[in-house]
């Protein structure tokens, strides 16, 4: 590995030519950061670091050997190989130059800053395949030692049973996928969730649909809570449907323990809206901006930071292409933006320019 290889890059410093080194998630964070979208600061551990881990330790050859004997149709076979690979990752020390680069980049963020450590595979979030949720994410990681450990755990998660099975099912060779890792300042989320720049039930691109709940958005993404749901008409700029749910639990930071904890939501907030109307429209504006920037429907993770003043507290955590309706035939998508909804195709095209 050349001495001038970059093992880490900050979101501000990643050039378009380097997007292939940082994976889909980190490339998206870089694009948003450089476009002026409010994003928690952080850095990417590049695929060069992952390759160094595999090559310098001999781990790559060990993994290839363990995968050569699995039967992709036998879940137990895949699971055994996955567990063995994770054990091998833990038994190999990270190359000293890689570990030093990660420690230096983390320390540049401040003194023991709590961070999220997120996997960012090079093939994830493509229009015809979604790797979202297949690799690991670790929240409220504090201290350089733990950051280094969690980066290695993220690398190992590329070989989870679910990820291995998915790649086999979709004809993606394991050697075609490399793993980068994003290290990003934690958000003290009062509310969080996801926003889609189309209606996920119908593919209607004249809508923005928001799911929101209290605390960190992992409770929404994982389906632990039934979130509040808002449907907004992009053209009219109106909330046309809202469903406020009983949000019984939230995931919040425990600063004393240095981790996130699940806790019961107090009675007064359980059935109260997790977003004000002003916050709903701020999320809509963010969603439309990202859709225009990326030139396709987006699936966006966002958070309202309790530590920031109102009007400045909306942060984008991730934006990736929507992967369900993008696979539909054009005729399937068009029928939901014309006719029965009363919105002609030309108007749909106009609002998405």
pLDDT: which is higher, 90 or 174: 90
Beta bridge partners of 305: 189
Confidence label for 135 from pLDDT (cuts 50, 70 and 90): low
Task: Find, among 108, 128, 146, 161, the residue nearest to 24 by Cα.
Answer: 128
Is pLDDT of 330 > 60? Answer: no
Most confident of 19-28, 126-135, 163-172, 186-195: 186-195
Contact between residue 207 and residue 225 where contact means Cβ atoms under 8 Å apart: no
Confidence label for 96 from pLDDT (cuts 50, 70 and 90): very high
What's phi and psi for 78, nearest 5 deg? -65, -40
Distance CA 308, CA 302 (A): 14
Confidence label for 299 from pLDDT (cuts 50, 70 and 90): very high
Residue-range domains of the chain with CATH: 8-185 (3.30.1490.20), 189-351 (3.30.470.20)
Task: Find, among 216, 26, 41, 183, the residue nearest to 115 by Cα.
Answer: 183
Distance CA 250, CA 236 (A): 33
pLDDT score of 4: 61
pLDDT score of 221: 86
Instruction: Work out the average pLDDT over 303-318.
Output: 93
Contact between residue 140 and residue 186 where contact means Cβ atoms under 8 Å apart: yes
DSSP 8-state class, residue 160: -
Task: Find, among 227, 216, 223, 225, the residue nearest to 254 by Cα.
Answer: 216
Instruction: Work out the average pLDDT over 269-289.
Output: 97
Kindly report which listed range (121-135, 205-219, 247-261, 310-324) carries the lowest average pLDDT score.
121-135
Instruction: Work out the average pLDDT over 129-148.
Output: 77
The CB-side HSE value for 249 (13 A sphere, CA atoms) comes to 12
Is pLDDT of 305 > 90? Answer: yes
pLDDT score of 339: 36
Q: Which two tokens stand for residue 69?
A: 């004997």
Contact between residue 172 and residue 129 where contact means Cβ atoms under 8 Å apart: yes
Query: What is the number of other CB atoms lying within 10 angstroms of the CB of residue 119?
Result: 29
pLDDT score of 123: 64
Q: What is the secondary structure of 194-248 as a DSSP string?
A: EEESS-TTT--TTEEEEEEEEB-THHHHTTSS--EEEEEETTTTEEEEEE-----
């Amino acid at each position: 590995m050349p001495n001038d290889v970059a093992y880490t890059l900050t979101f501000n410093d990643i050039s378009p030519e380097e997007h292939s080194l940082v994976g889909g998630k980190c490339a998206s964070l870089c694009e948003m950061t450089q476009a002026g979208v409010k994003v928690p600061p952080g850095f990417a551990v590049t695929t060069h670091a992952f390759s160094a881990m595999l090559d310098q330790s001999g781990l790559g050859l060990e993994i290839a050997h363990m995968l050569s004997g699995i039967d992709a149709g036998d879940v137990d076979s895949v699971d055994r190989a996955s567990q063995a690979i994770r054990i091998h990752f833990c038994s190999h020390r990270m190359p000293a130059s890689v570990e030093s680069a990660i420690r230096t980049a983390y320390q540049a963020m401040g003194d023991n800053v709590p961070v999220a450590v997120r996997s960012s595979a090079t093939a994830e979030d493509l229009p015809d395949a979604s790797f979202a949720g297949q690799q690991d994410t670790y929240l409220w990681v504090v201290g350089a030692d733990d950051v280094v450990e969690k980066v290695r755990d993220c690398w190992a998660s590329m070989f989870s049973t679910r990820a291995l099975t998915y790649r086999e099912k979709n004809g993606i060779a394991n050697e075609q996928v490399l793993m980068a890792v994003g290290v990003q300042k934690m958000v003290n989320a009062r509310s969080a969730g996801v926003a889609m720049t189309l209606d996920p039930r119908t593919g209607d691109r004249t809508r923005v649909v928001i799911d929101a709940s209290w605390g960190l958005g992992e409770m929404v993404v994982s389906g632990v809570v039934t979130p509040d749901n808002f449907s907004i008409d992009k053209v009219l700029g109106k909330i046309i449907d809202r469903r406020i749910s009983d949000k019984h639990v939230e995931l919040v930071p425990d600063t004393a323990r240095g981790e996130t904890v699940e806790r019961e939501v107090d009675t007064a907030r359980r059935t109260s809206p997790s977003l004000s109307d002003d916050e709903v429209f701020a999320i809509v504006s963010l969603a439309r901006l990202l859709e225009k920037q990326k030139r396709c429907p987006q699936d966006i993770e966002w958070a309202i930071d309790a530590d920031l003043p109102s009007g400045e507290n909306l942060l984008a955590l991730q934006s990736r292409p929507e992967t369900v309706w993008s696979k539909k035939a054009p005729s399937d998508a068009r029928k939901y933006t014309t006719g029965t909804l009363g919105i002609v195709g030309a108007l749909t095209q106009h609002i998405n320019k």
